[in-house]
């Protein structure tokens, strides 16, 4: 028997509902759950002594069960005479005090002003508003106006709804404009056989202020369960956003519970129930079909220590996939902790997450399954926000100190618009003792969480260690100077002019200044806030050999090319894009257009090196960039970086047959390292330029 309308617009048609209830017969019809499922919320907002108007009662048992629970003053209205006749017949003897009237909710003239203390609507609003068309909004507006009229001051409009955006927006706009309090209450555990969550919209009528009196403050709230206080929101759009997040989470849960697709790696935010601020980011990673499961378990949770969420293994989809594969679980949920949230210990985090992560379990999970929580040594990690700021170009940012897995302290610049990426990083060391032999960070595979270990106390007098390049791509960029040595430039004595686009924390230009004795480094930086942070928090210092010019790199290089009176031995691009939707996040596309690169070539010395930090996830876009570069620079070396998406391109103008052979690269690298490393000056023993050059390939 087909009981669905041909078009959603038929939901608002009296003819449709007449046919519907005639076909359905005496069987009751429940939209969005039964009274048992809803009573916990309804009893919170409607008292048994209230005079209640039930709009669009249909053949639902809701009012009957409310009557049996002690609600006596129940008036039911509907536009279907068939439904009303059957309800009257069903209840006349058993529930004599209930009234059933054929009244359209848009025209409730039979009821005088202030007749009711509650208006209860279970699905009727959704039926009347199948879309956001002007006709629909006009119909809904008439219903709202009648609800406002028949309710007493202090009364409530209680609407059980799926809270589609056009429905919720219409209700919030109307009732908040009337000065009413608006709350959206999520019904817990109520999906009714489909993935959409059910809400109860509660609008409370306040007395209008006297003419000329102060307007009442707007009250907008969301309550995500039966327990705990509601969360107050500041604007209608915030309320709509909160509902969208709940709906998206319910949809995700439905998808994860019904199938496993390794190609999809959904991410969701778990927020603090009272403040609404993000507390955890959860990445769901499934193993491909046929993968070897090293453990008997189907499902596990991996807690990322604070400060390590930006590591390649945890901060990228590729890294998390590798982590899941090595852990050997059918589904792994990788959980990262957020800034500005306090966490007690691993045991407390497990307790907090246990119920929620079970909602993300894979299909077919055995009953009473114990979910293992994994981490790196059981340590929560250490992350301290040292400074907050805001840039007109890049938005809010933080400077934070993070304790690395080996116990050393690092300082990072992170823009919150892309908080999974470290903009700049420097090692902090004791003043006067920087740069003693170090090892690069190594990613550890998942281990079961052990006792939480307290981090070592922070030392006093710590300063940025300028001899240590934390970023692997900066190390490769420095090694590119060996190509100058291969062309006869003596880095130990001769002058080297460097133009660098992109300052960041200043680690790269500061290293070039400190260790290439004859260098003159000019940095182009578009953001004044970045220069302030580099100088104030990362030990960056300008002098006559190291200067920063503020401005758009595109415009400044164009001016240099037009001036025709300067040239550089090395030009480096280490500048990121502010548009996260592009397939290339470094550099911005305009920096690799042919017309602009021709200007770059014109200010590069004939034996100079153009160094490009390229981060491109779009293979077709990468091919296009390489094609443009090959047309301008016959010699191009490429170097991919392990566990990073960056690759460094070293470009020169000489003919391709003059490219250095591997032995020549090795010799040039050894010579460069010898020129940079001098007695009495701090040196990072892990920086092996010759080894880096072994990874160079002709592009």
385-422 per-position pLDDT tens digit: 899 999 998 899 999 999 886 788 999 999 988 777 88
User: What does the pLDDT read at residue 196?
Assistant: 77
**Strands of the 52-55 sheet, one edge to the other:** 99-102, 74-78, 52-55, 116-122, 151-161, 199-204, 181-186, 220-223, 231-233
pLDDT category of residue 271 using cuts at 50, 70 and 90: confident
Least confident of 8-12, 66-70, 408-412, 660-664: 8-12
**pLDDT at 432 (0 to 100):** 38
Spatial CB neighbours of 347, under 8 Å, sequence gap ≥ 6: 452
Is the model more confident about 654 or about 46?
Answer: 46
pLDDT at 667 over 50: yes
Burial class (CB in 10 A: 0-12, 13-18, 19+), 74: buried
Helix (H) or strand (E) holding 530: helix 528-537
Give dist(CA 593, CA 624) in Å, integer: 10
> For position 20, what pLDDT does the model report?
47
- Residue 442 predicted with pLDDT over 50: no
Judged against a pLDDT cut of 90, whether residue 199 lies above it is answered with yes
Q: Is the pLDDT of residue 466 over 60?
A: yes
Q: Is the pLDDT of residue 488 over 90?
A: no
3-state secondary structure of 67: helix
Please tell me the distance from the alpha carbon of residue 413 to that of residue 428, in angstroms, as a whole number: 13
Yes or no: say if 577 and 615 are a contact pair by the CB < 8 Å rule. Answer: no
- pLDDT score of 214 more than 70: no
Domains of the chain: 17-248 (3.40.50.150), 261-465 (no CATH), 472-698 (3.40.50.150)
Q: Give the tens place of pLDDT for each residue, 174-187.
A: 999 999 999 999 98
* pLDDT tens figures, 237-263: 999 998 988 888 888 888 888 776 777
For residue 221, the model assigns a pLDDT of 94
| Confidence (pLDDT) at 490 | 61
Average pLDDT of the chain, as a whole number: 84
What are the residues whose beta carbons fall under 8 Å from the beta carbon of 275, sequence distance 6 or more?
231
Question: Tens digits of per-residue pLDDT, 354-392?
Answer: 888 888 888 878 777 788 888 887 678 888 889 999 999
């Amino acid at each position: 028997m087909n009981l669905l309308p041909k078009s959603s617009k038929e939901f608002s048609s009296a003819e449709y509902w007449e046919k519907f209830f005639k076909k359905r017969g005496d069987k009751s019809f429940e939209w969005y759950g039964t009274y048992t499922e809803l009573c916990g919320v309804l009893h919170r907002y409607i008292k048994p002594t209230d005079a209640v108007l039930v709009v669009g009662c249909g053949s639902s048992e809701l009012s009957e069960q409310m009557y049996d629970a002690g609600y006596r003053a129940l008036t039911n209205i509907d536009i279907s005479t068939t439904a009303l006749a059957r309800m009257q017949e069903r209840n006349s003897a058993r529930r004599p005090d209930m009234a059933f009237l054929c009244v359209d909710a848009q025209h409730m003239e039979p009821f005088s002003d202030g007749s009711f203390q509650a208006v209860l609507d279970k699905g009727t609003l959704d039926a009347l508003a199948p879309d956001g068309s002007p006709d629909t909004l006009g119909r809904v507006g008439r219903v709202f106006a009648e609800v406002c009229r028949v309710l007493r001051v202090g009364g409530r409009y209680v609407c059980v709804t799926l809270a589609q955006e056009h429905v919720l927006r219409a209700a919030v706009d109307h009732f908040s404009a009337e000065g009413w309090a608006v709350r959206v209450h999520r019904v817990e555990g109520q999906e009714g056989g489909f993935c959409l969550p059910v809400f109860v919209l509660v609008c409370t009528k306040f007395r209008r202020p006297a003419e000329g009196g102060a307007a009442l403050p707007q009250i907008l709230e969301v309550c995500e369960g039966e327990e705990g206080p509601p969360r107050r929101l500041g604007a209608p759009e915030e309320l709509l956003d909160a509902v969208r997040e709940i709906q998206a989470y319910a949809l995700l849960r439905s998808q994860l519970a019904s199938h496993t697709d390794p190609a999809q790696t959904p991410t969701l935010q778990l927020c603090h129930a009272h403040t609404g601020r993000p507390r955890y980011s959860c990445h769901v990673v499934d193993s491909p079909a046929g993968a070897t499961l090293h453990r008997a378990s189907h499902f596990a949770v991996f807690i990322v220590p604070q400060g390590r969420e930006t590591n390649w293994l945890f901060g990228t989809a590729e890294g998390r996939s590798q982590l899941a594969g090595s852990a050997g679980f059918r589904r792994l949920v990788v959980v990262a902790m957020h800034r500005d949230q306090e966490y007690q210990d691993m045991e407390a985090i497990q307790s907090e997450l246990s119920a929620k992560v079970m909602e993300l379990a894979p299909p077919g999970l055995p009953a009473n399954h114990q979910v293992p929580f994994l981490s790196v040594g059981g340590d929560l990690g250490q992350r301290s926000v040292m400074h907050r700021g805001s840039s007109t170009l890049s938005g809010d940012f933080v400077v934070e100190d993070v304790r690395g897995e080996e116990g050393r302290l690092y300082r990072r610049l992170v823009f919150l618009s892309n908080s999974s990426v470290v903009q700049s990083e420097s090692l902090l060391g004791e003043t006067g003792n920087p740069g003693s032999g170090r090892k690069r960070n190594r990613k550890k595979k998942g281990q079961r969480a052990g006792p939480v270990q307290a981090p070592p106390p922070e030392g006093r007098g710590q300063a940025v260690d300028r001899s240590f390049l934390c970023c692997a791509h900066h190390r490769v960029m420095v090694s590119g100077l060996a190509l100058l040595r291969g062309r006869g430039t003596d880095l130990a004595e001769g002058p080297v002019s460097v133009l660098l686009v992109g300052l960041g924390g200043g680690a790269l230009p500061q290293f070039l200044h400190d260790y290439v004795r004859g260098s003159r480094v000019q940095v182009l930086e578009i953001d004044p806030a970045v220069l302030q942070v580099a100088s104030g928090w990362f030990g960056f210092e300008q002098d006559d050999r190291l200067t920063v010019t503020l401005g758009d790199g595109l415009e400044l290089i164009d001016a240099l090319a037009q001036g025709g009176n300067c040239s550089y031995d090395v030009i480096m691009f280490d500048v990121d894009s502010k548009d996260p939707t592009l397939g290339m996040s470094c550099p911005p596309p305009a920096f690799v257009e042919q017309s602009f690169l021709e200007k770059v070539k014109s200010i590069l010395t004939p034996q100079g090196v153009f160094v490009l930090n390229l981060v491109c996830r779009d293979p077709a876009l990468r091919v296009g960039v390489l094609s443009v570069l090959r047309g301008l620079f016959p010699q191009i070396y490429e170097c991919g970086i392990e566990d990073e998406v960056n690759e460094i391109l070293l470009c020169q103008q000489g003919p391709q047959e003059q490219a250095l052979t591997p032995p020549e690269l090795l010799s040039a690298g050894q010579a460069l390292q010898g020129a940079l490393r001098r007695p009495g000056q701090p040196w990072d023993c892990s920086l092996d330029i010759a080894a880096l050059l072994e990874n160079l390939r002709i592009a």
